[in-house]
Structure 1
């Protein structure tokens, strides 16, 4: 694994994701924002949790396509339409499914969530960008 997750003393000790990731590889992979879509550009689900899960799976396909794996993910940035804190449980539920089924680290890599007005089409409610460090 090329990424180490840290919870330094003095930082918020949340359990859902790590506040710090240290990459020790030689290649950086920057993934464009991935929506929760199927390969034919249709929404994979009508709801936030379903689209988060599909977007994370698309991120994993991209990392693996670059020669890495889920343990190489160093950062995830979520863009969520009409974000409110009440949506956090849906995001966590989707992350948990991908952790169980695909081996996404638990706790997850550092996460930022940014509320946006809209995405590419009105059917998309989330887009996720990712950074991975490969050895």
Structure 2
């Protein structure tokens, strides 16, 4: 799938982030927000940003695969973190690499949002994504 990552010189640059992604393909996969729930609707890692981030990313990968996409097909994502603090961000960042087998989340047009609450009172993390595939 042809993707073009654009980072204009007048905007900040980060290796794991793209200011703009232009993609073309024959199929778009929209993944609903993935939290840290197992397939029995049990929350994994109550009170633990690290554990919830690992499970949310694992669920994201599973959902992408169900739609015929891979992580590398993601062009946009939104990551919601309850009560976002520097400590929560550090745990989120560390857990991302572990959840993805030592790899970084591929650059995409991503947004991280600190929120007061999510859909379940004990959720700390939720991740949604859009992927474009051939």
The 3 A distance-change label for structure 1 pair 2 and 43 is farther
| CA displacement, residues 58-90 of structure 1 (integer Å, 9 cap, x when unaligned) | 111111111111111111101111123442211
8 Å contact from structure 1 (residues 2, 133) kept in 2: no
- Listed as ranges, the gaps of 5+ residues in structure 1 are none
**SS in structure 2 of the partner of residue 60 of structure 1:** helix
User: Is 1:44 paired with 2:44?
Assistant: yes
2:12 aligned residue: 12
- Count of residues paired in the alignment: 133
- Listed as ranges, the gaps of 5+ residues in structure 2 are none
Q: After alignment, is 91-100 or 51-60 more displaced?
A: 91-100
What RMSD over aligned residues (CA atoms) do the two structures have, in Å? 2.1
**SS in structure 2 of the partner of residue 36 of structure 1:** coil
User: Is 1:130 paired with 2:129?
Assistant: yes
Which residues of 2 match residues 103-122 of structure 1 at below 5 A? 104-105=105-106, 108-122=107-121
Counterpart-to-counterpart distance in 1, 2:97 and 2:18: 14
| CA displacement, residues 35-67 of structure 1 (integer Å, 9 cap, x when unaligned) | 111111112223112211211111111111111
TM-score (norm 1): 0.84
